[in-house]
Amino acid sequence: MAVPSELGTGAASYPVSGRQGFLLFNPNIEFGPFSTDKVRRGITIGSGELEPGLTSSTTKREDHTVSTFSMQGWRGMCEARHASERTTETTGVGVSSERGLYADKRESMLESSSYVCELTELRGKRLRLELDGTSGWVVDSGGTTVYSLSPIREEMTMKHPELHGYLIDSRNSSVAALQTSFDGVVYFSRRLDAEERAEVAVVCVAVFLHRD
């Protein structure tokens, strides 16, 4: 993915490692001068239930995954949830010469997904990342939005398929971006100082764990 123009000239780009291959061994996520100290990618656990009825039945299922990491003075606990509800309704029953005894059915599906990552610095600072299907945001302990994430993509070319990622804004200015496709790439604007880069790097790791 090319450097997003919103970051201005001189933006730094860092290829990411640790997101491909044998993730069962929980390799550290690394890019540029940043690296996790420890990563634990959670196993997805699911539960479901069936609610039968005379003319309809509903199947509910919920899957959730908890992952944790530590990185240069920060700790993250991230939880992904996906819920689905499928309803099957019998709309008609009859007998015909072609079909014999038959029952017409109609199905509907409701789905919802969420991803939340609690980020805690050893000095006490707390941030909360939330991602929905299209965008995301990071708020501090007082509920103020510190960063907002909007989706970006680069169309397929002869060299690569379509690429996806997020543009990260702070105080109405784009400060970073990340490509989540494949290994990934992180981009930092020159406007970020060293402390801000370290904080945004933690946010990027939290996003990558969701996309692993």
CA-to-CA separations, 178 to 54, 76, 94, 194, 211, in angstroms, rounded: 50, 18, 56, 18, 12
Q: Check pLDDT > 90 for residue 22.
A: no
101-129 tens-digit pLDDT = 877 888 898 988 999 999 999 999 999 99
pTM of the model: 0.85
Confidence tier at 53 by pLDDT (50, 70, 90):
confident
CA angle 62, 68, 69 (to 5 degrees): 155
Question: Can you give the pLDDT at residue 14?
Answer: 97
Question: Can you give the pLDDT at residue 211?
Answer: 66
Mean pLDDT score, 47-64: 86
Question: Can you give the pLDDT at residue 212?
Answer: 58
